[in-house]
Amino acid sequence: MEGATQTETKIRAESGIESGPRGPGCSLRHFACEQNLLSRPDGSASFLQGDTSVLAGVYGPAEVKVSKEIFNKATLEVTLRPKIGLPGVAEKSRERLIRNTCEAVVLGALHPRTSITVVLQVVSDAGSLLACCLNAACMALVDAGVPMRALFCGVTCALDSDGNLLLDPTAKQEKEARAVLTFALDSVERKLLMSTTKGLYSDAELQQCLAAAQAASQHVFRFYRESLQRRYSKS
Amino acid sequence: MKETPLSNCERRFLLRAIEEKKRLDGRQTYDYRNIKISFGTDYGCCIVELGKTRVLGQVSCELVSPKLNRATEGILFFNLELSQMAAPAFEPGRQSDLLVKLNRLLERCLRNSKCIDTESLCVVAGEKVWQIRVDLHLLNHDGNIIDAASIAAIVALCHFRRPDVSVQGDEVTLYTLEERDPVPLSIHHMPICVSFAFFQQGTYLLVDPNEREERVMDGLLVIAMNKHREICTIQSSCGIMLLKDQVLRCSKIAGVKVAEITELIQKALENDQKVRKEGGKFGFAESIANQRITAFRMEKAPIDTSDVEEKAEEIISEAEPPSEVVSKPVLWTPGTAQIGEGIENSWGDLEDSEKEDEDEGGSDEAIILDSIKMDTGEVSNIGSQDAPIVLSDSEEEEMIILEPDKNRKKIRTQTISATQVKAPSKKPVKKRKKKRAAN
């Protein structure tokens, strides 16, 4: 047991400039968010988790192409743009995951025959990119005033070779990890909206990660609440 | 989404304001909007804000083989993307005229002016050179994309550091950032584009037009210049005719503006370098204005995960035990494997109905078919399914004889059942029987 904690601290010490010393349990990197920073989109947000940064813009509910029109609900589109080069398969797959998550919470039926477009731009990737994309998308949707059933957040967990659980891993930790699991959770029931995993893990570990993600989601939602309170406070 | 059209009264209002030497954002004729440059944590990553226009620049490098006619020169590649985030009218994946024009202008401004020493990017002549790729993403479009993009490109190039390489004989060693300090690119000069918008057939001139002004302008002149007042590119578009004096006056203004911007860029670069050297905080997180009410930050938050294991155990104990799975795959022949018991193929549902069809028709031949089986040991797999085929013409019949394949038969029966052929006569069956036997 002692050996395990030793290696854990060693890995964390190695993990670079920005993460610094992490607590013995798990911690989230520092969060920052700025809303409404772009003038053209209806809603925009830039979300930072440590050095990972994603910018999101939302248009909608707006005019929709006839070919994409859905008669009883809004058409939700998500585009994710990488920083270098053209979007590839990885981006398409992430787009789909984010779109499915958004579709689960956005009340599209209130705006039939319209389009809601979420555009995400990766500004820097330093681990937990998908989680950061989800958080940025949520904050941008809130800024655009799109009606939603609940808020959502993304949390990434990593399991290292010793079976230790890491929350919000950096790029290096993700690379060394045995398994990386990303969950999207809703704010009302704290239930799972989306999960995507990579690597090997047992069912017990999956449940542990999920429970840890739920604990972490409380912090993220508190961050959402405080940032919105600050924005809409009168003082 | 389509762009919102500019109404006639808006257009008239803007033009009238310009005539009165007034601009909507309160600037003077020759004023630039505020320029803000912020750097990311990676080398070669920057965001340039020109008023509300925002461009993200990122430089990356790769070792490639050089072009055949330029064996000792590195390759520079520029790519400006108009993301849908910038304006709803920009469709993803479409090469609009504007995009092509902007990309071409950037290339002329930065590559053809030879501001980067491409020869220093050569590692092994004719074999390995660096390819420097500059990706520019427009994040918000509020006019004057080209100026913002050219500033972002040159700032990103100045900020970029490529990994160090060493050549010993035929061996090329690439050092990581930890092993050796990365090397900056050698930049001769910094060309910067300055845009001039003309109104009323060149009567009025504005520097750095914003989006609204761009929509009512008659002509645009872009001058790319460095701080030594050397013109790198000049382009006039929208088909306006300009007088000689006007062009000269513009080049003079451009000289002043470029000197100002270059100074600003150098200050920003020095600042970033100083912070990096001193080990202070840098990156976009630091550039978020904390005093804004739309911005919020939270320091590192510890999460209590002590009860995670108990929770997980609880959930697992409550859950139903997973169904038993045979984890060992059974290898029947090379290239195949079977997991589990295997269930009956449910895809055969369609065929079942067909079989019924055939049963109706073929029931009276059951005896004969039995005799067929007895006769021909080789063609034993011809079941009742095969019987109706008889009615088909001789050509098809032959096909079946040549290929006594199960799949083919099914297809055949399908087509026949579709034509609703029933109760074939006994005679042809016998004929075929003989044929097969002969085969």
Looking at the predicted structure, is the pLDDT value of residue A85 above 50? yes
Q: What is the pLDDT of residues A192-206, one digit of tens each?
A: 999 999 999 998 899
CATH code of A31-233, in short, is 3.30.230.70
Query: What's residue B49's pLDDT?
Result: 94
Average pLDDT on B13-34 reads 92
Query: What's residue B354's pLDDT?
Result: 53
CATH number at residue B218: 3.30.230.70
Contact with chain B for residue A149, Cβ under 8 A = no
Report the 3 state secondary structure along B272-300.
HHHHHHHCCCCCHHHHCCCCCCCEEEECC
Query: What's residue B53's pLDDT?
Result: 95
Residue B303 pLDDT class (50, 70, 90 cuts): confident
DSSP code per residue over B14-74: HHHHHHTT--TTS--TTPPPPEEEEE-SSTTEEEEEETTEEEEEEEEEEEEPPPTT-TT--
Chain A residues near residue B83 by CB distance under 8 angstroms: 81, 119, 121
Whether residue B373 is contained in a domain is answered as no
The sign one gets for the Cα dihedral B81, B87, B93, B95 is negative
Whether residue B366 is contained in a domain is answered as no
Q: What is the pLDDT of residues A2-41, one digit of tens each?
A: 444 444 444 444 444 333 333 445 888 989 999 999 999 9
CB-nearest to B85 from A23, A41, A53 is A41
Query: What's residue B304's pLDDT?
Result: 80
What single-letter amino acid sits at B366? A
State ipTM: 0.85
Q: Which of A46, A202, A208 to mutate to test the interface with B (most CBs of B within 10 A)?
A: A208
Looking at the predicted structure, is the pLDDT value of residue B346 above 90? no
Share of chain B above pLDDT 90, in %: 46
Task: Tell me whether residues A27 and B303 touch, CB distance under 8 A.
Answer: yes
Query: What's residue B343's pLDDT?
Result: 65
In angstroms, the Cα distances linking B343 to A108, A150, B340, B396 are: 41, 42, 9, 35
The residue extents of the domains of chain A are: 31-233
More confident residue, B155 or B371: B155
The residue written with tokens 């440590």 in the block is A50
Range of the domain at B248: 32-284
The answer to whether the predicted template modeling score (pTM) of the entire model surpasses 0.90 is no
Q: Taking a contact as any Cβ pair under 8 Å apart, which residues of chain B between 91 and 110 contact chain A? A: 92
Please tell me the distance from the alpha carbon of residue A99 to that of residue A79, in angstroms, as a whole number.
9
Looking at the predicted structure, is the pLDDT value of residue A128 above 90? yes
In degrees and rounded to multiples of 5, residue B235 shows phi and psi of: -145, 130
- The total domain count for chain B is 1
Q: What is the pLDDT of residues B401-433, one digit of tens each?
A: 454 455 544 444 444 444 444 444 445 545 554
Looking at the predicted structure, is the pLDDT value of residue B160 above 80? yes
Q: Which of B41, B60, B140, B305 to mutate to test the interface with A (most CBs of A within 10 A)?
A: B305
Q: Taking a contact as any Cβ pair under 8 Å apart, which residues of chain A between 156 and 215 contact chain B? A: 165, 167, 203-208, 210-212, 215
The residue written with tokens 């845009």 in the block is B195
Average pLDDT on B276-305 reads 78
Looking at the predicted structure, is the pLDDT value of residue A149 above 70? yes
Looking at the predicted structure, is the pLDDT value of residue B325 above 70? no
Mean pLDDT over each residue of chain B, to the nearest integer: 80
Residue B350 pLDDT class (50, 70, 90 cuts): low
